Amino acid sequence: MKRVLKLLVTFVLIISIGMVGTGCGSKNNNKKVLNVYNWGDYIDESVLEEFEKEYGIKVIYDNFATNEEMYIKIKSGGTSYDVAFPSDYMIEKMIKEGLLQKIDYNNIENYKYISDNLKKLDFDPTSEYSVPYFWGTVGILYNKTMVKEPVDSWNILWDSKYKGKILMIDSQRDSIGVALKKLGYSMNSTDPKQLEEAKSELMKQKPLVLSYVGDEGKDMMIGEEAAMSVVWSGDAVYTMSENENLAYAIPKEGTNYWFDSVVIPKTSKHKKEAELFINFLCRPEIAQKNAEYVGYSTPNKETMKKLDPKLVKNKALYPNEELMKNSEVFRDLGDSIKLYDTIWTEVKSK
């Protein structure tokens, strides 16, 4: 969905020799192949090399920029990725549409290292189709020298004294979700009346907004061009490391609590190798490499013991239960997503 470091790299990364483009074919004679489809810059490349060396399996690695891009490519059936990394609501949608295979957890011995409270979540309630890879939150990144009052509510994004100093995230689910939470509604609301109220809030806020941003928002906050920005937690951790005046807050009304997980598409032709790879990713020292490289929160409880204690104590990365109160995971909205499309188009165009 998102993400700091993912969006730093937008080009396709080709790991294998002789492969270009689709990532789903091979000239490699009899050598086993694993086709992996992941967000940009969302894995430590040395992990792929280590897997290839240990198992003698060539990894063909492609990137996507959005869940929707990944979904369309897999649903079209023109490719046969063996492993993909969609987000929560998209996993739910893909399960409903029969696009994923059940995982044989007997082959994922290292699944035992995944924290129990991060299993059997609503998007995969029986934990049959997905293994958590990273998780995080959405919150407010703010400059302590510009914002003197407590940042504990989404309401501050509507404070007129910050006119021209507010950055909103250029994401319809997240921005509409912020407005819904401000109003006390669910971020997964499909109620037309509630969504109309959320649109009104965003229209009221628009004159205060400096810009709707993606990856460039990080540099703007580091450069102190804005006082506040709605960001994903990984972006927050990165930008705070670049400017000590920045801080991150999760509003008391609650926020989005998101997951990216590993799945096996129905079209996979190498399920055995896919499960071997997933098990490899769950190995604590491998998950540590990825957590330190990517910068997001690991779901692996053994890996957490290996990380720098400063990272684990960082509440932007690992918020406590109190901070997460009222937070929720995005759900698949079915046809109601069209309402979100319409609202976001109107907000951005007027």
Number of H helices, E strands in the chain: 13, 9
User: pLDDT value at position 10?
Assistant: 40
Pick the residue with more confidence: 288 or 30?
Answer: 288
Let me know if residue 111 belongs to a domain. Answer: yes
Tens digit of each residue's pLDDT (9 = 90 or more) over 92-128 = 999 999 999 999 999 999 999 999 999 999 999 999 9
User: pLDDT value at position 25?
Assistant: 42
> Within this chain, do residues 289 and 166 fall inside the same structural domain, yes or no?
no
| Res. 30: pLDDT tops 80 | no
Tens digit of each residue's pLDDT (9 = 90 or more) over 288-336 = 999 999 889 999 999 999 999 988 998 889 998 888 889 999 999 999 9
CA 317/CA 208 separation, integer angstroms:
28
> Within this chain, do residues 303 and 228 fall inside the same structural domain, yes or no?
no
The tokens for 311 are 């990272």
User: pLDDT value at position 200?
Assistant: 98
Let me know if residue 296 belongs to a domain. Answer: yes
Percentage of the residues of the chain whose pLDDT score is greater than 70: 91
Asked if 276 contacts 104 with a C-beta cutoff of 8 angstroms, the reply is no
> Within this chain, do residues 118 and 141 fall inside the same structural domain, yes or no?
no
> Within this chain, do residues 124 and 140 fall inside the same structural domain, yes or no?
no
| Res. 12: pLDDT tops 50 | no
CA 216/CA 233 separation, integer angstroms:
15
CA 239/CA 219 separation, integer angstroms:
8
Let me know if residue 302 belongs to a domain. Answer: yes
> Within this chain, do residues 155 and 245 fall inside the same structural domain, yes or no?
yes
Residue 295: give its domain's CATH number. Answer: 3.40.190.10
Pick the residue with more confidence: 106 or 7?
Answer: 106
CA 268/CA 196 separation, integer angstroms:
41
| Res. 18: pLDDT tops 90 | no
The tokens for 306 are 């290996």
User: pLDDT value at position 26?
Assistant: 43
Asked if 214 contacts 170 with a C-beta cutoff of 8 angstroms, the reply is yes
> Within this chain, do residues 226 and 145 fall inside the same structural domain, yes or no?
yes
The predicted model gives 242-268 an average pLDDT of 96
> Within this chain, do residues 119 and 149 fall inside the same structural domain, yes or no?
no
Let me know if residue 16 belongs to a domain. Answer: no
| Res. 143: pLDDT tops 70 | yes
> Within this chain, do residues 191 and 292 fall inside the same structural domain, yes or no?
no
Q: Is 89 annotated as a binding residue?
A: yes
The tokens for 272 are 């055995």
Q: How many whole angstroms from its chain centre is CA 205?
A: 25
The predicted model gives 237-251 an average pLDDT of 95
Percentage of the residues of the chain whose pLDDT score is greater than 90: 79
Let me know if residue 20 belongs to a domain. Answer: no
Q: How many domains does the chain have?
A: 2
CA 309/CA 200 separation, integer angstroms:
43
User: Cα(first)–Cα(last) distance of the chain, in Å?
Assistant: 26
> Within this chain, do residues 162 and 279 fall inside the same structural domain, yes or no?
no
The predicted model gives 73-91 an average pLDDT of 94
> Within this chain, do residues 225 and 331 fall inside the same structural domain, yes or no?
yes
Reported pTM = 0.83
Q: What is the DSSP string of 169-208?
A: ES-HHHHHHHHHHHTT--TT---HHHHHHHHHHHHHHGGG
Let me know if residue 9 belongs to a domain. Answer: no
Residue closest to 139 by CA, chosen among 22, 278, 253: 253
> Within this chain, do residues 272 and 289 fall inside the same structural domain, yes or no?
yes
Structural domain range at position 48? 33-135+258-320
Helix (H, G, I), strand (E, B) or coil at 260: strand
Cα-Cα-Cα-Cα dihedral of 65, 67, 71, 72, to 10°? Answer: -50
> Within this chain, do residues 187 and 302 fall inside the same structural domain, yes or no?
no
Let me know if residue 72 belongs to a domain. Answer: yes
41 band by pLDDT with thresholds 50, 70 and 90 = confident
Let me know if residue 342 belongs to a domain. Answer: yes
